[in-house]
Amino acid sequence: MTEPKSTSPHLFVHAQFSVPHSFISTDDNEGSENHKSSSSLPASSSSPSQPRTVVEQHFDCSNIPLAVIGLKGEPVKPKPGDYSYSGMHDHGPLPKPKEGGTFATLIGLCEAAKQSSDRYLTEVIEEEKKQACESG
């Protein structure tokens, strides 16, 4: 007997960064759970003297939790001028949105990729500043 095929698509986010090789320490990929690989590239035409490193990050359902789409608490009446989703209508609470599914997976992947990329790129920028201060 064969297992039924899944009707949901395989969702993933793949991020790739090309940064100057001198900003990457040899253990940068060791501590990050989503860095898949790192490889060196020859110097580019924009900075011919400096080789670059490509760092890839991969996020899929195996390493990212589903996002919570609805409210994380109880519905509350918003303050005047606040147009964010509050779970309330003029006449009471709105029905709770459906949780899970493809959109929750996609939102979770995007949130995780953004957070990881922000952390990684902040480290690269800080290292770049440090090297600029040391050389200047």
pLDDT in tens, 90-102: 888 888 777 888 8
Residue 125: phi, psi to the nearest 5? Answer: -65, -45
Using CA of residue 109, residue 112, residue 116, residue 117, what is the dihedral sign?
positive
Give residue-wise pLDDT tens across range 24-64: 654 444 334 554 445 554 544 555 566 777 888 888 888 78
Give the separation between CA 40 and CA 60, rounded to whole angstroms: 25
The H or E element spanning position 87 is none
What does the pLDDT read at residue 34?
52
d(CA 64, CA 67): 9
Q: Which amino acid is at 104?
A: A
DSSP label at residue 11: -
For the four alpha carbons of 28, 32, 37 and 42, in that order, the dihedral sign comes to negative
